[in-house]
Structure formats: C-alpha cells, structure tokens
Structure 1
C-alpha cells in the first residue's frame, strides 16, 4: 500500500533478480507509453511501468488534495520499498519527470541513475514560465486546466482528437492509430480526465522557493527538438540546478519522444547506463 492506502497498478517484465528500472509516464498517458522501453530494457533490468494514481488501473481518489506532489513522490518511494528494493534506475516523462526530480531532490539515495524525458523540476519550470514569454505561451493549457470542468470538456472534444493531434506524426509509424485507440479506451471513460488534470490544479503555484537538491545522482535529460510544450532553454536551467548531468536533444522529434523515436531514445539511455554503471 501507498499513502492514503492507494492501490497502484503496474506492468512488469524481466527478471526480478536483476536491477530495478521504474518508468513514470506523463500526461495524458498510462503505462503503455513505455511499451518500447519495457521490451528493450527487460533484457538487463526488472522493468516496472506503473500507472500513476488517477490513471489506468490505479485507484482514482476524488478531490485535489490526493494529487499533491508530496503524495505522488511518496507513491514512487513506497513502491520501490514494496518491491523489496532500496534503489532503482528511474526513467520518467513529462509529469513523471516533475515527480522524479522532486524524489531525487528529497531522497537521492533512492537512485542509481535518473533519466528525464521532456520534463524538468518544478523549480526550473516555474522560473522559466515566468521569465520566458515563449515558455509561458507554450504553457497556456496549464492555466486553462485550473478552471473546473473546462479542461475535461476540451480534452474530450471530437472523439478525444487531442491524442491524434499530439501523438500521431506524419511520416513516422512508431505510433499507430491502433496505439491511439488504446489511449482513447482509457480516457474515454467517464471522469477519466479529472484525476490527471487535478495534478495541475493541486500543484499550481505562482511562486515557489528555489530549494536546492541534495546528493549526487547521475542524470540524463533528453528533449525533442520540436517539443510544442517545452522550450529547449529549460535544459540550460537544469544544468545549472543539477551536477553530474548529461543532456541530449533529438532532432525532428516532438514531446512524446519515447514513442515517436524509441530507437534513438533507447540508445541514448543505454549509452548513459553503460557509462554510469561502470563508473
């Protein structure tokens, strides 16, 4: 069990005797967004791709308080313990990355390595969104999501067309219409969007202290060159905040990079793991 007795669903693959690798998805996703990485890294790791609270098969508590970032962080920390481990390699995308960065800041001893895709710490994102008008424009939806029911209404329009627009890439076949139907199956359920949107509502702040991270965790940050939601200048802020960090940008790639360019993402992760495992 996790905080507030939350039941979390996860998919696993690989040998449980091998090192633990956990995957945290973003918005609006669920464990399925890691299908390419689960297959790739289960050769060498015990892979666990979880549905975060409010998503997929995991429990969906009502209200805003259960989606505070402190509880989301505790979910991951407690899952690691429930799996009988003290450390893991964590791979996280989008909202999963915000949670992972906070976990790394508070409990650095939890990590062997941390890989962040298309994300940043809350402190870095908050500074960028208020100091960079381009990032503020790219983050318009974050402000819209604060209004009751408006986000749910907009996201469900035209048979959940948001998934077709955001994830299907002309000329690339790594995300198929059949994959999109998997997302629409889950998010087409009644009230399915409210818990994920509550992540934004519960954690939005106009100002926050720039708390400095603890520990020295090997960290890889990867962005897509054509990310519609994040400015590449966030990478520079991440470099200033964290030591022992490597960064990479995948050309001609957008926000959902682990699905759009799985081979490139997997190679970057594997190269990083090879270096940091031997160091």
Structure 2
C-alpha cells in the first residue's frame, strides 16, 4: 500500500475518532444539563447472577486453561458426539448461544465459551493479549485440550472475525464453519475504506479507540446501551431477564475494557491482503438484513476470499441474529449441516 494511502487512512481514522469522541462528550454534557444532580453512572447493584445463568438446561459450567489463559465455558451434550464450539461477539458471552445450545445438544457435544476478557474467563492485561493471533490460538488449543482434532465452529460478530482467521490458518481443524453477522478482517477492512455506508456503520470502531471513553458511555444510565442495541421493538425473543444477564457480567468494575481491547488491539491503518481460501471446508455465511453495523455488500467481498462459501441473508433480523431470531438461525444451521452430512 502506498504512503499516501496510509497517510489518508491515518488522518481520516484519527479525525473520526476525535469527531465521535466529541459527540459523546457533548452527550455527557447534555445529560448533566438536563439533570445536574443525577449521577449518570450510578448502577443497580447486581451481586447475584440471574437464575437463568445457572439453569442446568444449558449445561455444566467448567474451566479450562488454553494458550496460557483460563477460559470459562458451558458444556452440554454427549462428549462422544461431534464437537460444536460457539464463539460469541461483543458485547456478549456464552449466554448469547442459549437457544443454539438447547437445539443442538442432542446431536453434538456443545461447548460455548467466554472468550478471553469476557464473562468468567481470565482478563489478561495489555492490548497485545487481545491480538487476533492470540484469539485464534485460544480456539485451536481449546479443541486440542478437549481431546479433539476437528469441530463445527459457530461464531457471531467478533467471534466471526476469529473464526474466519481460524479458517485461514487451521482449515484441517474444521468440519464446518458457520459465521453469523460478521466478516473476515480483510473483507471488513476493504469495505470500510471502499464504502461510505460501512464506514458510517462502523463509527463505534473509531470511537472505541479513545481510551476510557467507550467504557463510560456503555456504563451510562445503568448500562442502558444493552437495552438499546439488543432489544427489538415488536419481538420478545430477547427479554428483560436476558438483558440482566449481560448487565450482570459487564457491570463488574473490570469487565468492559478487555472486550473493547479487541478493537483497540486489532485496528490497523493498513492491512495486507490474503490469498483466496480454496480448501473445501463447508462455510455458511449469514448476514442480517437489518444489521446496524454491517452492510450486506460484505457478501461480495467474502466471496472473493473464500471459494467454498454459502452466503445468505436472514430477513427481518438485526445484528444479534441468534438471539433475535433463534428459530430461523437454528433452522439455517441445521439445514446447512444436514446438507454437508456433518
């Protein structure tokens, strides 16, 4: 990439970071003006987890050390059956796969992890701990530590970026790959700089680069951001109790910075392109029609990088697809796995 392109991306990225940070600061100021005696960062005390987080229908809670990091996971199903690993996105944890665990635990050994820095998993210090290479090796070591060489990998959002890179470097470890409302790092990068629509939808990626400010925004008004981004008017698949589960974990004092560090650690002004993946790994790629963060035009970019990809769009659905439309997503995954006899 030319020096001029690098400088252009550097200038625009930092300008957008400052711009969105300024808008957020104005929002903070307006909050004080409206009610100068209120504390917008006061939070409801959540000492006990909501009952659904310990509901045995979702499985057994366990811990495992992989790639020198202790991860928490929920295990459900028969360990003699094919392994299915779930990778959540931001801002989520294992619970975002609750509907898929109960659907697939009859036919697969389901493992839904809290990725490093999330939920009850270890939270390493420093940005380097959240580099994409480390996150990929967490998954590879997890599969080995579970005594397997292959798995069906099902991923969403940030989990999808990790899964796509895993597909690039460890194709032999995959029986099949399902990526929901996500993209590869390369496809997102090229769409970010080639599409005004995607750049606008990715505003938060630029904003998250500002140290400390994103954490304060997400904590405002008892973490109302979770209600705003996850609840869907007219749909009851994501309930108030579900939102309480997310607020329980992300409301802890050190819980927000490590997940946001995924963005900070992997942001780049330039990104080397990669060769097209020709290895025949079954790959279901599903974007949500109403996704507020990803443009459906990413499908064309993903087709350029992966030969064996089956793209689809989940209609009348937003970004948190597996939670918002669990029946649609479960049917989509099951039909895909059945088609490939996985």
Q: TM-score range by the shorter chain?
A: over 0.9
Preserved CA contact (<8 Å) 1:20 1:87: yes
Preserved CA contact (<8 Å) 2:181 2:294: yes
Cα distance in 2 for residues equivalent to 1:140 and 1:94: 16
Query: Which of the residues 247, 264, 271 maps onto 2:311?
Result: 247
1:89 aligns with 2:89: no
- 2:281 corresponding residue in structure 1: 217
1:56 aligns with 2:148: no
Structure 2: which 5+ residue stretches go unaligned?
Answer: 1-64
Cα distance in 1 for residues equivalent to 2:224 and 2:115: 23
Q: Report the Cα offset of residue 271 of structure 1.
A: 0.3
SS of 2:191's partner is helix
SS of 2:214's partner is helix
**Rg larger in 1 or in 2?**
2
Preserved CA contact (<8 Å) 2:278 2:307: no
Query: Which of the residues 147, 153, 163 maps onto 2:210?
Result: 147
Aligned pairs for 1:253-268 (under 5 A) are 253-268=317-332
Q: Report the Cα offset of residue 269 of structure 1.
A: 0.3
Cα distance in 2 for residues equivalent to 1:95 and 1:36: 19
SS of 1:7's partner is strand
Show structure 1 runs of 4+ deviating over 4 A. Answer: none
Q: Report the Cα offset of residue 275 of structure 1.
A: 0.7
Cα distance in 2 for residues equivalent to 1:249 and 1:265: 11
SS of 2:75's partner is strand
Preserved CA contact (<8 Å) 2:164 2:183: yes
Query: Which of the residues 103, 127, 142 maps onto 1:40?
Result: 103
Cα distance in 2 for residues equivalent to 1:235 and 1:261: 20
SS of 2:341's partner is helix
Q: Report the Cα offset of residue 216 of structure 1.
A: 2.1
SS of 1:8's partner is strand
RMSD over aligned CA atoms reads 0.9
Cα distance in 2 for residues equivalent to 1:134 and 1:120: 15
Preserved CA contact (<8 Å) 1:105 1:214: no
Preserved CA contact (<8 Å) 2:291 2:317: yes
Cα distance in 1 for residues equivalent to 2:306 and 2:274: 12
SS of 1:180's partner is helix
Q: Report the Cα offset of residue 2 of structure 1.
A: 2.1
Query: Which of the residues 69, 75, 80 maps onto 1:6?
Result: 69
| Cα deviation code 1:100-126 (max 9, x no counterpart) | 000110010010000000001000000
Preserved CA contact (<8 Å) 1:54 1:61: yes
Cα distance in 2 for residues equivalent to 1:77 and 1:30: 19
SS of 2:70's partner is coil
TM-score computed with the length of structure 2 as normaliser: 0.80
Structure 1: which 5+ residue stretches go unaligned?
Answer: none
- 1:177 corresponding residue in structure 2: 240
Cα distance in 1 for residues equivalent to 2:214 and 2:171: 34
SS of 2:328's partner is helix
Cα distance in 2 for residues equivalent to 1:171 and 1:214: 42
Q: Report the Cα offset of residue 244 of structure 1.
A: 1.4
SS of 2:264's partner is helix
